[in-house]
Amino acid sequence: MQAESEMKGAFSEVLEDLFNQFPGVESVSWVQYTPYFNDGDECVFGTSASYPSMIFVDDKEDAREQYMYGEGFYTGEKDELEAEREPAYNAFAKFLSQFPDELLKSAFGDHARITVTREGVEVDTFDHD
């Protein structure tokens, strides 16, 4: 229990630093769950923390969510706005990808959507097929 509490504290501190470094980021989120069925293969817990979803402050008006994956945006060609946002995305994705899935499961649970803002971490139930 103490190790989990210490991990959450360190996790929050680094995320606070990232939000300060990239003031245009409104929130970052990911899902984590064990599938109920995997076409006959073993159902193994996993997360999307390495390719989180992000909302930027200037998206707030129409609440568009920017989905970006891996080392950059999945759309291929980058427009000016994507190029501007990419360093923030890569910094958050790199940080989150350092945590093993089992540690994220222990910290935030299974079948969960985790949303991180400047105010803190919110964990909601994630329904999936």
- Compare 121 and 129 and report the one with higher pLDDT: 121
- The total of structural domains in the chain comes to 1
The long-range contacts involving 81-87, CB below 8 angstroms and separated by at least 24 positions, are 85/24, 85/54, 85/56, 87/22
What is the pTM (predicted TM-score) of this model? 0.79
pLDDT at 69: 43
> Could you give the angle at the alpha carbon of 66 between the alpha carbons of 62 and 68, nearest 5°?
175
Q: Is 127 helix (H, G, I), strand (E, B) or coil?
A: coil
- Whole-angstrom Cα distance, residue 30 to residue 50? 8
- The alpha-helical segments, DSSP class H, found in 22-128 are 80-96, 101-108
Domain coverage including residue 34:
2-125
pLDDT band at 129 (very low <50, low <70, confident <90, very high): low
